[in-house]
Amino acid sequence: MPQEYRQILKYADEPGYTPDIECYLRHGGYDILRKALAIPPRNLADGRIVTGPDHLRQEVMTSGLRGRGGAGFSCGLKWSFVDRKSGKPIYLICNADESEPGTFKDKQIIYKDPHQLIEGMAIACYANDVHLAYIYIRGEFAEGAKILNRALKEARARDFLGENILGSDYDLEIHVHRGAGAYICGEETGLIESLEGKRAYPRIKPPYFPAVLGNNTGTRIVSISGHVRKPGYYEVEVGKATLGELINDPAFGGGLREGRKLKAIIPGGSSAKVFKAGEKFKIKRRGPDGKDAEQEIELLNLPYDFDSLIAAGSMSGSGGIIVLDDSTDIVEALANISEFYAHESCGQCTPCREGSLWMSKALQRLTHGEGREADADYLMKIADNIPGGRTVCAFGEACSWPVQSFVAKFKDEFVARGAADEENRTRRNAGPTAVGKLPASS
């Protein structure tokens, strides 16, 4: 049975572990930075020199480390895109905007183990010739910003930041930059605009197509919320636990509440496409004979990793699993999600700005007794017309996926709700109270 495997959160919740530098140093803190800065340059046979930073970048590339954001993008590959020849300064920005609903992992690191974040950033900065870096932290984490500022001050005082770090000739400064309550700042180009003192309007960026992926490595912090007995954050080895284990095992979510049955799972933050209880998927997997074969897998047996969830038509996204039991009003749930996206669209692109609002309005009327039987199809039509290259950023997808998946998989509930509302209206209009009133306009 899989257990938690804590690497990043190894000490965070230990009794007596505090966010100050003394405590971090007692637990081996800044040793890796010290080692990284001490890597000597190597001379290759052909006369080229592999510097310490070159070596670190190669190491990260071969390690298979992938980003822990939505896409699980290869970290080494991402670093290889940096233009090091232009002579322009290179900045590193740590995205601590944690804003995807259902996700609460970064907060644990920032509040409980800030020096780990700073050390990690310092190593990444050294590997990439960065001398100025920012932590973009969501505005609501005012306390977290204070904790980070305190930690940065401590690190400077101990010579882990600033000029000539540990006598290595390497200079680095890190500053905290606070957001101010806009979800779209989590989108990387929106974040950069925001850091530059502008509205967080995402920019158009070229699509990247990662060529060779497949191996998962390291751990991942999964946030489980909603209708489970033990909601919380759990660090697991990537791919070692299934969705069902994460939800039901006593080591993790601990199962549903007494007498309840599973209705749906949102597997990777609120924009991930919903799974309906009992769904089965045909997925290519490597069998014991080493050959890839198509296998039928039940929802709860899906390994919780980047690739399996994509193969099942959704994503592990931010690692936020929201569990819905059979007490959930599925129409209300989608109305809630859509209200979020309508509120958070930055407003640059018409399909996203208007579409997210129309969907939210249609769902509001469905949850307020004013629905129509045709609303399910209407919602689907809007959702199908927002994404697919019609918007600047992936928010277009993010606001459509929940609607497309909820309405497709629970269509009967949406249709029934709208039909019931229509029937009620007809009855009201035909009733004695309607006498003398004008007929309802069509």
Partner 1 sequence: MSDAPLDHGIPNPLREQPDFAIPAPLEAEINELITHYPQKRSASLMLLHAMQEHFGHVSRQAVEWIAAKLELQPINVYELVTFYPMFHLKPVGKHHLKVCRTLSCALGGSHKLHEHFCRKLGLDPHAHGAQTTKDGQFTVEFVECLASCGTAPVMMCNDTFHEGVSEKKADEILKQCQQQPSP
User: Which residues are at the interface with partner 1 (CB under 8 A)?
Assistant: 89, 98-104, 106-107, 132, 138-143, 175, 177-183, 194-200, 223-227, 231-233, 266, 270, 320, 322, 324, 328, 332-333, 336-337, 339-340, 343-344
Task: Work out what residue 24 binds among partner 1, ligand SF4, none; the CB cut-off runs from 5 to 8 Å by kind.
Answer: none
End-to-end CA distance of the chain: 60
Q: Which stretch binds ligand SF4 (CB under 6 A): 27-35, 72-80, 268-276, 391-399?
A: 391-399
The pair of structure tokens assigned to 207 is 């699509």
**392 counts as binding ligand SF4 under rule CB under 6 A:** yes
**Choice from 347, 354, 361, 365 touching ligand SF4 (CB under 6 A):** 347
Closest contact distance (angstroms) between CB of 334 and ligand SF4 is 19
How far is Cα of residue 234 from the mean position of the Cα atoms in its chain?
A: 15
- The binder of ligand SF4 chosen from 222, 335, 393, 407 (CB under 6 A): 393
CB-nearer residue toward ligand SF4: 172 or 392: 392
Q: Exposed e or buried b for every residue in 178-194, given b needs 16+ CB within 10 A? A: bbeebbbbbbbbbbbbb
> Could you say which of 108, 348, 367, 405 contacts ligand SF4 (CB under 6 A)?
348
Q: With contact defined as beta carbons under 8 Å apart, do 284 and 311 qualify?
A: yes
Q: Which amino acid is at 441?
A: S
Smallest gap from residue 93 Cβ to partner 1 (A)? 12
Q: For the chain, how are helix, strand and coil distributed in percent, rounded to 5?
A: 40, 15, 45
Which one-letter DSSP state was computed for residue 99? -
CB of 77 vs ligand SF4, minimal distance in Å: 24
CA distance 173 to 149: 12
Identity of the residue, 180 or 440, whose beta carbon is nearer to partner 1 in the bound complex: 180
Q: Which CB, 84 or 146, lies closer to partner 1?
A: 146
Q: Give the x/- contact pattern for ligand SF4 in 196-215, rule: CB under 6 A.
A: ------x-------------
Compute the C-alpha angle 139/394/148, nearest 5°.
25
Strand (E) or helix (H) holding 24 = helix 21-26
Counting contacts by CB under 6 A, is residue 425 touching ligand SF4? no
Q: Which two tokens stand for residue 42?
A: 């190597």
Map residues 170-189 to x or -, x wherever contact with ligand SF4 holds by CB under 6 A: --------------x-----
Q: Which does 42 bind (CB under 5 to 8 A by kind): ligand SF4, partner 1, none?
A: none
The verdict on 342 binding ligand SF4 (CB under 6 A) reads no
Cβ burial, residue 166 (10 Å; 0-12/13-18/19+): middle
Among candidates 362, 350, 352, 354, which has minimal Cα distance to 407?
A: 362
Shortest reach from residue 352's CB to ligand SF4, in Å? 3
Partner touching 392 among ligand SF4, partner 1, none, CB below 5 to 8 Å by kind: ligand SF4
3-class secondary structure for 281-316?
A: EEEEEECCCCCEEEEEEEHHHCECCHHHHHHCCCCC
Between CA 352 and CA 181 the distance in angstroms is 19
Chain residues that interact with ligand SF4, rule: CB under 6 A: 184, 202, 345-349, 352-353, 391-393, 395-396
